[in-house]
Amino acid sequence: MRVPLVAGNWKMNLLLAEARALLGVLRDEVDRLPRGRVEVAVCPAAPYLFPVAKALDGSSISFGAQNLYHEPAGAFTGEVSAAMIRDCGARWVILGHSERRHTIGHLEDDRMINLKLRAARGAGLTPILCVGETLAERERGATDDVLTFQLRAALVNAPIQSGQDLVIAYEPVWAIGTGRNATPDQAQTAHAHLRAELRRTLAGAGDPTAAGAIASTVRILYGGSVKPDNAAEIFSQPDVDGGLIGGASLKGASFVGIVRAALAAAG
Ligand code: PGA
């Protein structure tokens, strides 16, 4: 029912020649897979959105940005709008990534992430909304509360009318780039919680039947130290619909290995 999505978050990696070489490998492998059974996307740094669009011309692989600024236009030096990203042909935008919430320069709060999500939807981009708890929050038993709060805050007044309007990525902060992935059980528990909360949040904003239908079709990706050798087990969980992949998306062989694991898990 939900086609798995495997999205590569390149972060601030790969110069253009390296990106083109990687995309060449991905096109060779991914475009030969059965159509419609798995979706694959890459998210390059902003200056490469347009060259990546060209390099992916005619491919089934889609692409997205890693961030946007919520204002439509104006005096915002250094920022990139949702419409600009869409204009480059992007389909996705990663929002609320933990590196932006917790580690980069001026930190992003939930209100800012909500403004960005609404700007993305307004421009026709599908947000890949990242949520996740820190290790301290997990250890004090606050995981569910943190996920509920982040999800609800991001979706205030957001126009989510179908399962295609949103992707959620559960990314426990303690698992990102650490080599320590969540266990399949931990991932499933968090994903099931997020799906139930999504249904409640959307029902609170409108028709409960429609909310149920949307929540059951929104894809919830797992992200945090996914590798070809742990992907199959994580993706086999019923509420895990693919992955958001950082380090392992930078090499053709490992990213393709993860895409194949998603395809196999989809049955
Ligand atoms: P990682 O990053 O796969 O390198 O842990 C995941 C992410 O940050 O989206």
pLDDT tens for the chain, 267 residues: list them: 799 999 999 999 999 999 999 999 999 999 999 889 999 999 999 999 999 999 999 999 999 999 999 999 999 999 999 999 999 999 999 999 999 998 886 789 999 999 999 999 999 999 999 999 999 999 999 999 999 999 999 999 998 999 999 999 999 999 988 888 889 999 999 999 999 999 999 998 778 888 999 999 999 999 999 999 999 999 999 999 999 999 999 999 999 999 999 999 987
Rounded Cα–Cα distance for residues 167 and 5 (Å): 9
Question: Does 245 sit in the ligand 1 pocket, CB within 6 Å?
Answer: yes
Q: Residue 16 is inside which H or E element, if any?
A: helix 16-30
- CA separation (Å) from 39 to 62, 143, 166, 222? 8, 29, 15, 15
Sequence-separated (6 or more) residues with CB below 8 Å from residue 32: none
Instruction: Give the closest residue (by CA) to ligand 1 atom 3.
Output: 246
Q: 116-153: b or e for each residue (b if 16 or more CB lie within 10 Å)?
A: bbbbbbebebbbbbbbbbbeebbeeeebeebbbebbbb
71 Cα to the center of ligand 1, angstroms: 27
Question: Does 8 sit in the ligand 1 pocket, CB within 6 Å?
Answer: no
Rounded Cα–Cα distance for residues 210 and 201 (Å): 12
Q: Which residues are catalytic?
A: 97, 171
Question: Does 176 sit in the ligand 1 pocket, CB within 6 Å?
Answer: yes
Rounded Cα–Cα distance for residues 64 and 84 (Å): 12
pTM: 0.97
